[in-house]
Chains A and B, each alone.
Chain A
Amino acid sequence: MSALYQRSATQIAAAVNAREVSAVEVLGAHMARIERVEPSIGAFLSLTADLAREQARRVDEAVAAGKRLPLAGVPVAVKDNMCLQGTVTTAGSKILAGWVAPYTATAVARLLEAGCLPVGKANLDEFAMGSSCENSALGVTRNPWDTDRVPGGSSGGSVAAVAAGEAALATASDTGGSIREPAAFCGVVGMKPTYGRISRYGLIAFASSLDQIGPIARTVEDAAAMYGVMAGHDPMDATSLPRPVEPTLPALRTDLRGLRVGLVREFDTKDLGEEIDAAYRRAYAQLAALGAEIVDVALPHAEYGLATYYLIAPAEASSNLARFDGVRYGLRVDGANVQEMYGKTRAAGFGPEVKRRILIGTYALSSGYYDAYYVRAQKARTLTAGDFERAFAACDLIACPAASSPAFEFGAKSDDPVSMYLMDYYTIPMSLAGLPALSVPCGFVRDGSPGGRELPLGLQLVAPLYEEARLFAAAHAYEQATRYTLDRQPPVVESVR
């Protein structure tokens, strides 16, 4: 059997429940792994070893008492925009540096109840705004497949931790692609459920009508198991879906017979370069080989997705981030009066990307521009949702890229916000429509430089609202048939300096 840190969550839970290994041992192996690779990866903003140890002891006691826990002893990295009582929770921002959460997010609490061990708080783009993790004000996270490259974002720390074996699972959040794009960049599975499926209570808000928590794992089965634990109605979140969660694990399949998979006309991959184009064609062919019927679908308003998103998300963010005002918690920079204090505190506490989005969002909501920008964007959102409704009349799943490129080098897109925003071109429409979508590794491309490394690509699968089970079933079949990352570890260990 492989080293403990290489095992899947499902394997770990089975072993802990069977008392073949203790949660304390599992934790020890992962803490050792963290110690070894963290200097070159930087997935975490803080480690929560004491909490994890305490939790591991509780899990072992529960198991000894005859209890079986679905994620017994599974180390999990918690994205640092989720509250975990007693831990520093920063959202990657200086404005919250050192803030200790006095309560725990619902999704995280459910993971703890299921036996997970919270090993640390994972890095992210500040307030989850970004596609590379470079917008974190508190740390640099590197891609385990090539440490000169970004891990993707905003859930960069989460995907890096899982890819590098620092945790078997990680929580992540997706507003316009923040789970799917980094999952693709780091060769892991990342899934964004239907909006409202997993409670947002305790998730530091970026854009409330788009934010959704989801699982990061190295296998589809693990992601499905983790999703199953986190999903379900929460009375603390008024947008939480009251419908039952269909079991995902029993639905996992090894073929795609009877499924119609739609390829989106507007998402032609030819412009992404020959090698990438070929990789996606191979992926689609593989879906067909597994028995899927490939059909052609259209998302005529996809081209407006980015514009729609970059009005709605910043507008909501500008309001959500108002509370960081230096009065009740977080950073304060004093001024002669309260107004000055606000202006200075927020100037010092927020990074450039957050400021840009607060400004554009404030503008989109301001008097005289509200109808022209915000309301128009909400109408465009209706058109996007309608596109998917029509597309799903002709297919059961949609397949497309999870990102327009593999992981890029640090600084490659820092000067031009819009070119960075374009990274989310393939993920934003699903967010606008609230659909469940997932990224699963679909091969590697060479980065082109001499001695360059191979970089993972992600295939995005999209299902109609509430059809998460179908999504996992299909992704599992594809993953088991291709095994791109199941038998291959990122070369991170070699890069330890």
Chain B
Amino acid sequence: MILLKTFSIAVRALRRNTLRTLLTMLGIIFGVAAVIAMVSLGNGARAQLEASIAALGQNVVTVWSGTMSRGGFRGGFGSSGTLTAEDYEAIRKEVAGVNGVSPEVRNFAQLAAGNQNINSQIMGVGAQYIDIRSWPCSSGENFTEADVRNANKVALIGKTTAEILFADEEPVGQIVRVKSAPFRIVGVLASKGSDMWGRDQDDILLVPYTSAMRRLTGDLTFRSLMLQAASPQILGTVTNQVADLLRQRHRITGGKDDDFMVRTQQETVELFDAQARTTRELLFYVALISLIVGGIGVMNIMLVSVTERTREIGVRLAVGARGLDILLQFLTEAVTLSLTGGALGIAFGVACSRLVTQQLGWPTLTSSGSIVLAFGVSAAIGIFFGFYPSLKASRLDPIDALRYE
């Protein structure tokens, strides 16, 4: 009852100066919006990260050509690479506890079938690749080790690519032309969805790496190899064995830098996540600064309000308001101000998150937790920054306040 009255007094006071109230709330609105956007982006990234860890396959270890320092890839990666076919064979033969190994030779090329054509990713891989990635064929069959050995022109086609090139027809047995070289489709891959960057993984053509290197890229080395450990327990051992083997083969001794990098799927994904984290940290500071600025705005406007309404405070004290009544009144006003700002900020933040997803394709996930957090933060700001002005109001002397000009 008393609270309701205090609240209605506060709303009335705020409505008397709508424009000023709105301007004051801007800081809070942006701050809270930034908090919401930050948390949504973070949640979205994490959810997708988890999905992509699962999508990579179980216990997958990737060997990258070149190294990746804190700043990004260095040497090798993106150029010709340091991993040779012999390295690949050596890993297959000598590392224990490995279910399968496959190179990854990535390339983009024009694909044509009938009168349809599409620019797709062509990936040269070994026969074990689809097992490593737990990526079965939905029709047809995988190509064989013999196909790889002989660099046969055979291919597995992704779901999206198949739909574009062949519409409703059965792709298995059809011919797809890659840069005019005819490849026979032996299987259609099951759908895998988007990867952690939002790219459609089903828009792909898998061919034997030998065919890809010989007929499409002309490369002699690999940029990456993918292998699958037999169990999660031996991931570490496998990683070390591969690293030791490659160091030995590449004659890297003592303190010299590796010219390759071995990472488990978890590490790989987190490496990419680090970049997203930097963005989120930046947003966090933007949010923090906005909220502080917003809070100072609230404090400023409350101080102005207390000064402007000194006579009103005097009248209230004179008719029997206690200091606490006045304190609560102004505090309620400050909290109402910051909570309204918070609510608008939440709406704005959610809208921004939606827009980011729509325009940039970044995944976002607005949780009720972040909304509660935003509300809590705005209430706390109102209380924290509204307290001093309210206290000042409550300590006024009734006579002085009444005489105030």
**Is B truly associated with A?**
no
Spell out B's residues near A (CB within 8 Å): none
